[in-house]
Amino acid sequence: MIITIFGPPGSGKGTQSSLLIAKYNLMLISVGDLLRNIISGNSELGRKIKDTVKSGNLIQDEVICELLRDQLVLMNDSFLLDGFPRNLNQARFLTQVLLERYNRDVDIVIELQLDDKVAIDRLKDRLVCLDCKSIYSISSFKDNDLVCMKCKSTKLERRIDDSDLSAINRRISEYYIQIKSLREYYKDKLLTVNANLNVGQVKQEIENKISCNLV
């Protein structure tokens, strides 16, 4: 089974992806994690990507597609894509590369739908563990005792693209521009989910819709 999940910033793609790969025994390709790994390497490409991400702009399709192609070499035919595709050009590329490699296309497309105000509130409050990538709300910690509940790391930080409200608004606006064509492209495979709910409720709604889709 090949699944892709998309939604506006703050919709919980990373959290739900982690739950889905555990539930359905899938491998994970997270484009965001791949980019953050490149940024942390402090190469020339990493510095360019960092500047682009920090401003709230999107990375060039050529860079993203090449990263994905490299990752697919490591995958079997059961995986989840978090953060890809983000536009129609990337979706067409994904169809082509999946047909070449697996003679199939994406099976299920999940769209997490979220109110803008909720998205902004979540992003302003978001912390990410640099070691295990777990995501938290800063308000869930007492007395600034920032320790990852999963791996016990103290390396919890805000993402660089969450630090500026104008950058957040730019990312949300760009998402809504691109999502229209993606909905049309994947209309026969699309499952829409209310991401304003809590994590457990969103997880249950996704699993219910996947079960119905697989019957």
Residue ranges for the binding site for ATP? 10-15, 126, 197
Nearest CA to 169 out of 161, 158, 181 is that of 161
Q: Which two tokens stand for residue 149?
A: 């509940």
Element (H, E) at 94: helix 88-102
Q: Which two tokens stand for residue 187?
A: 């209309």
Which amino acids are annotated as binding site, given as ranges? 10-15, 36, 57-59, 83-86, 90, 126, 159, 171, 197
Burial environment of residue 59 by CB neighbours within 10 A (0 to 12, 13 to 18, 19 or more): middle
Q: What distance in Å separates the CA atoms of residue 188 and residue 200, rounded to the nearest whole number?
A: 26
Give the pairing type, strands 135-137 and 126-129: antiparallel
Which amino acids are annotated as binding site for AMP, given as ranges? 36, 57-59, 83-86, 90, 159, 171
Please report how many Cα atoms fall inside a 13 Å half-sphere around the Cα of residue 200, on the Cβ side: 0
